[in-house]
Amino acid sequence: MNSVAIRVIPVALAAWALGGWICDAHEVRIGATISQTGHFATEVGPFGDFLKAWAQELNSQGGMPLDRVRVPVRLFLYDDRSEEAVARRMYERMATVDKVHLMLGPYSSPLTFAASTASEIHGIPFLAICANSPKIYQRGYKWIACLVDEAPRYTHRYWEMIKEESLAKSVSFLVEDTLHPKGVFEGARMLAQEAGLQILSVHTAPRDTRDFGAVILKLRAEDPDILFVSANIPFATLFMLQAREQGLKPREFHVTHHGGPFRKALGRAAEGVTGQSYWTPTMGGPGKERFLRLLDLSRISLEDYPWLPAYMMAIQVVEDVLSRSLSLEPSEIMKALKSSQTQTIGGRVWFQENGVGSINTYPSQIQEGSYQILWPKAVATAPHRYPAADQPRK
């Protein structure tokens, strides 16, 4: 029978462990942080519950498949408070105190940039999940691999759709001045040009901006077909509330992070907004039923947290990698990780030499309060509504 231990550590963070009574030689130790509080909590706050449900399920079946045996899992989870310094400290603890065999990265590029230094210093495999800024992978680190493709390609399917439709002719950009939104914007600007759109303007604003009035006035004068908002949920939500209130009406708002908290905050004003999603149940894929079961066990709504499929893909990669690793030696795990070709709910995951992965997002639109995948046609769950119903046509 597995035991559950709660460890109270400095700065009021908690580590959650499964199977703590088993000696170290006969367990797999995996560490991660979740932004349960702070700036990113709106995007990933309850994801620790999902990882706990996964570990509990594995241990109820005898543990993690490792070569030809099953080994109990011990999972260490910490709240990084959405702060880079805290994340760095927690991953250092995982390496030196918890002695983990594998690290799952925190949410966001800034936190991953900071946390992955512990992995590199101590030589521990680090699987980044939602962290795609090119700056992370330009440092020559050997112990990191990332589930997702680099930020500049984050919206490539959206621009393929726009080019194919040949309806939108112009775009303006609003960019949150942080790593991931800036990386996404750099790629989106080039992709928009390749799609034949005229770029009217680029507006960059600090993460903590509270008044968007001046920017909205300029955007109303420009009247772009597409207003592309590259931002995390708190920034995007506040901007959109003010934009709707002040009558800004492009033919389409494309908000890269338009997940559940954004939709709930805007209510009907979120209708028609497009953005990016990793997966919806209608897309199927290997592990679909298991993922939905883990969602039920952890009591998390996919509509509220559309980034969670990336975490499912990550645990699918972890299971595949450890099942092929000859031992829990860091070099063996890393070798298996870099050479993996894992089929997941979101597609095949493989890694480039610098660790960058293959998974990318799909354009989605809020229609009648639900998220619909728009492109490519092979996986689309609804047609693209352009212009949005409440926006004027030119």
Sequence ranges of the domains in the chain: 4-151+281-349, 153-279+362-373
Task: Could you please state the CATH topology (level 3) that the domain comprising 4-151+281-349 is classified under.
Answer: Rossmann fold (3.40.50)
226-282 pLDDT, tens digit each: 999 999 999 999 999 999 999 999 999 999 999 999 999 999 999 999 999 999 998
Q: What pLDDT is recorded for position 389?
A: 64
Burial class (CB in 10 A: 0-12, 13-18, 19+), 311: buried
Written as six digits, the tokens of 351 are: 């890694």
Measured CA to CA, the distance from residue 157 to residue 188 in angstroms comes to 10
Higher pLDDT, residue 30 or 2: 30
Identity at 39, one-letter amino acid code? H
Q: Is 153-279+362-373 in CATH node 3.40.50.2300?
A: yes
Q: For 60-72, what is each residue's pLDDT tens digit? A: 999 998 877 899 9
Quickly state the pLDDT bin for 326 (edges 50, 70, 90). Answer: confident
Place of tokens 């020559």: 140
Structure tokens belonging to residue 215? 């920017």
pLDDT at residue 4 above 90?
Answer: no
Full-model pTM:
0.89
What percentage of the chain exceeds 90 in pLDDT?
Answer: 89
Whether pLDDT at 188 is above 70: yes
179 has a pLDDT exceeding 70: yes
At 238, which amino acid appears?
A: L
Q: What is the mean pLDDT of the chain?
A: 92
- Amino acid 66: pLDDT: 87
The Cα 276–Cα 362 span in angstroms is 5
- Give residue 390's pLDDT band: very low, low, confident or very high (50, 70, 90): low
Residues in Cβ contact with 75 at an 8 Å cutoff, skipping those fewer than 6 apart = 16, 17, 18, 29, 30, 31, 32, 51, 52, 55
**Identical fold at 4-151+281-349 and 153-279+362-373?**
yes
- What average pLDDT score do residues 33-46 get? 96
> Token pair for residue 221?
């004068």
Predicted local confidence at residue 282, as pLDDT: 87
Residue 67 is predicted with a pLDDT of 77
